[in-house]
Chain A
Amino acid sequence: MKNEESLAYFLNESKIIKIDELEKKIRIAILGSFTLNGIEETIRVKCSQNNIDCRSFVGEYNQYNQEILEQNSKLYEFNPELTFLILDVRHVLGELFFYPYSLNDSEKDEFANSKVQEIMNLLRTLRKNSKSQVVFTELQIPTYSPYGINEQKEKFGIKQLVSDINKKIRHEMKNDDFISILDFNEFIQKHGEQNVFNYKEYFSGDMKISIEYIPKFCDELMGFVIAYAGITKKCIVLDLDNTLWGGVIGEDGFDNIQLGETPVGRSFVEFQKRLLALNQRGIILAINSKNNFEDAIEVIKKHPNMVLKEDNFSCIRINWNDKVSNLREISKELNIGLDSLVFFDDDPVNREFVKHELKQVLVVDLPTDSSQYSRILTNMRVFESLKITDEDIKRKEMYLGQRKRIEFKNEVSNLDEFLKQMDIKVKIKKADNFVIPRISQLTLKTNQFNLTTKRYQHEDILGFSEDVSKIVEGVEVSDKFGNNGITGVYIIEKTDSEWIIDTFLLSCRVMGRGVEDIMLGQLIERAKNENIKKIKGKFIPTLKNKPAENFYKDFNFKKEGEFWVFDTEQETKKTKHIKVIEYE
């Protein structure tokens, strides 16, 4: 199929994609009040493009009530991890959709409340009967009222009625981490109701999202899938010339690059503003540019219209090396996987080179027209996470700290001296409501220093934290350059005589500073104090967790079958550098 954005393409692809070998797996259910054909197929294809093995379930036509309310329904048998409930406004309002003024204001209010209750009941029942994360699609605010231009003067018009229903559901769901809301009106605003809703298709087959726009709608759904699967991109790597400003600094010079009050200059300023906003919510930025360092850094430091400042970049590579080597170095220096990087470069040759050499990096196909950069960036759905945690917000400071740490490390002669001067502090935190989302996030995202690589959703961690036979704790690490936030996690199953390490991981952000030793060391101490004889754990090898391979061995654990076992009477590794441990 030529057009890789058409539904026909996705329908055909869905029959031939191979998903069995993909590491990430997800079970998605789609329930709705109208014909949902095409959505499931498109989602499966988009998942496979993101290396996710997606198994799906589509509710029978308009049977969502039964699927949700009957405990032994096919939906629950399928056991979804992520469920989309897609109701359309015509269905929810019924005849009121056409005749909004057949009810008086108080009747309308009553109607709105009863609909809110109905929907809330569905969402809560769905949550009660399954472990699924639920995504509810907000109702579309009608674009037509029989009152025409007088609609805005009505005390309680049709538009207000629907937006009230939406607002109330939003409000009820605000503090529920397991129910997310899809802003359908944003989708309609972006693409236009006359495109998204096709009367002919609606009358012919009760399609309420047009065939043409199903793939675009699925992009919105994919934002949630990406967030749930934890494959969120963490870092945007940027070229400079013709990417962050117009022109080539080495040729045009400081005064002639386009950045500021010209049509071209404005498009770059706006692009930088969009990047800065993402940076403020925790997406880190890096530079990968072929340039004389002095020329380029002068612009970043001194150009009056530069929105992004030097400190917004966690890693800077301005040199004459090739882009691929630089990307590898950036990934290494920031300690994040290549698959967490998005690369922006106006030069198609560089892009092809990176695409070819580093398949994990998401390379954005920028058009030659710089006025489109902002649109492309703001349409990307790869930075989504189900909840923005404190760590997300703090991340940019953490990585800036990281850059300063590296600079400091280069000044100090040896590693021991470096660590000693770092003033590393470790704080152990019990899994409470603030810590649980972050613990789950770390189990989903951490690949390198992760002994068992067990992936746990928020729901799972919540369950563990309420189980008295388990220890679930997060480890906060700080040093003289700042707080790294919660970057370590362990989950222990306790029995009378032994502790079994179910999960033990450390974010790559703080690897190589002895934090992992402190974490295990203090666990051994605590086990001794509770008269526990043995501590044991597995090392489950994956493609990525080689850095943790010898961890148990170095601590004097002995291999017994599939377990590494430690006798608490034995001597163990002494941990240094980190003096302070606090328990919270």
Chain B
Amino acid sequence: MNEKLIQIVSEVFNIEKNKIDENTSPETLEQWDSFNFYVLLNEIEKEFNIKFDIDETLEIKKIGDFRKLFQKRGIE
């Protein structure tokens, strides 16, 4: 997984990096509520200098889902 992504997730949700994986989701992470999710999106958009479409944001159910969105934008 993208190192920078893990860094941002760990900072926004205030958890250790090694606790984050593809399957990290609202079900596994208490801090992941709807508002914090938008805070996360905002940080990712800023850090990678990208914008997600509104329908893309609705498809993100777990951290792994960012992979596809990143690939589309040429980010490994």
What CA separation (Å) do A6 and B41 show in the bound complex?
13
* 20-76 of chain B: CB within 8 A of chain A: 34-36, 38-40, 42-43, 46, 52, 54, 57
Does chain B have a CB within 8 A of A321? no
* 200-255 of chain A: CB within 8 A of chain B: 200-201, 203-205, 207, 210-212
A1-28 Cβ-contact flags toward B at 8 Å (1 or 0) = 1100011100110010000000000000
CB pair B14–A205 under 8 Å, yes or no, is no
Does chain B have a CB within 8 A of A482? no
CB pair A11–B36 under 8 Å, yes or no, is yes
Which label, helix, strand, loop or mixed, suits the secondary structure of the B interface? helix
The contact of A201 among B38, B40, B46, by CB within 8 Å, is B38
Does chain A have a CB within 8 A of B12? yes
What CA separation (Å) do A7 and B41 show in the bound complex?
12
Q: Which residues of B contact A12 (CB under 8 A)?
A: 11-12, 14
What CA separation (Å) do A201 and B42 show in the bound complex?
9
CB pair A204–B39 under 8 Å, yes or no, is no
What CA separation (Å) do A211 and B39 show in the bound complex?
7
Q: Which residues of B contact A200 (CB under 8 A)?
A: 52, 54, 57
Which label, helix, strand, loop or mixed, suits the secondary structure of the A interface? helix
Closest to B33 in A: A37
Closest to A15 in B: B14
The contact of B38 among A2, A6, A15, A211, by CB within 8 Å, is A211
Q: Given contacts A1-B11, A2-B11, A12-B14, are A204 and B38 in contact (CB under 8 A)? A: yes
The distance from the CB of A259 to the nearest CB of chain B, in whole angstroms, is: 39
CB pair B39–A11 under 8 Å, yes or no, is yes
The distance from the CB of A341 to the nearest CB of chain B, in whole angstroms, is: 34
Closest to B35 in A: A37
Does chain B have a CB within 8 A of A340? no
What CA separation (Å) do A377 and B53 show in the bound complex?
38
Q: Given contacts A200-B57, A203-B54, are A8 and B35 in contact (CB under 8 A)? A: no
CB pair B39–A7 under 8 Å, yes or no, is yes
The contact of A204 among B11, B12, B14, B54, by CB within 8 Å, is B54
The distance from the CB of B14 to the nearest CB of chain A, in whole angstroms, is: 5
The distance from the CB of A385 to the nearest CB of chain B, in whole angstroms, is: 34
Q: Which residues of B contact A201 (CB under 8 A)?
A: 38, 42
What CA separation (Å) do A570 and B68 show in the bound complex?
89
CB pair A7–B57 under 8 Å, yes or no, is no
CB pair B38–A205 under 8 Å, yes or no, is yes
Q: Give the one of B12, B34, B52 with max A CB within 10 A.
A: B12
What CA separation (Å) do A224 and B64 show in the bound complex?
43
Does chain B have a CB within 8 A of A521? no
The distance from the CB of A252 to the nearest CB of chain B, in whole angstroms, is: 42
Q: Which residues of B contact A7 (CB under 8 A)?
A: 39, 42
What CA separation (Å) do A7 and B57 show in the bound complex?
19
What CA separation (Å) do A12 and B40 show in the bound complex?
12
Q: Given contacts A200-B57, A204-B57, A205-B35, are A212 and B42 in contact (CB under 8 A)? A: yes
Interface residues, chain A, with chain B CB atoms under 8 Å away: 1-2, 6-8, 11-12, 15, 35, 37-38, 200-201, 203-205, 207, 210-212
Interface residues, chain B, with chain A CB atoms under 8 Å away: 11-12, 14, 34-36, 38-40, 42-43, 46, 52, 54, 57
Contacts A8-B12, A11-B12, A15-B14 known; 16 new A-B pairs at CB < 8 A: A7-B42, A8-B11, A8-B39, A8-B40, A8-B42, A8-B43, A12-B12, A35-B35, A37-B35, A200-B52, A203-B54, A204-B38, A204-B57, A205-B34, A205-B35, A212-B42
Which 8 A-B residue pairings sit nearest by Cβ, starting from the closest? A37-B35, A211-B42, A8-B12, A12-B14, A1-B11, A200-B54, A8-B39, A8-B43
Residue pairs across A and B with Cβ atoms less than 8 A apart, 30 shown, are A6-B43, A6-B46, A7-B39, A7-B42, A8-B11, A8-B12, A8-B39, A8-B40, A8-B42, A8-B43, A11-B12, A11-B36, A12-B12, A12-B14, A15-B14, A37-B35, A38-B35, A38-B39, A200-B52, A203-B54, A204-B38, A204-B54, A204-B57, A205-B34, A205-B35, A205-B38, A211-B39, A211-B42, A212-B42, A212-B46
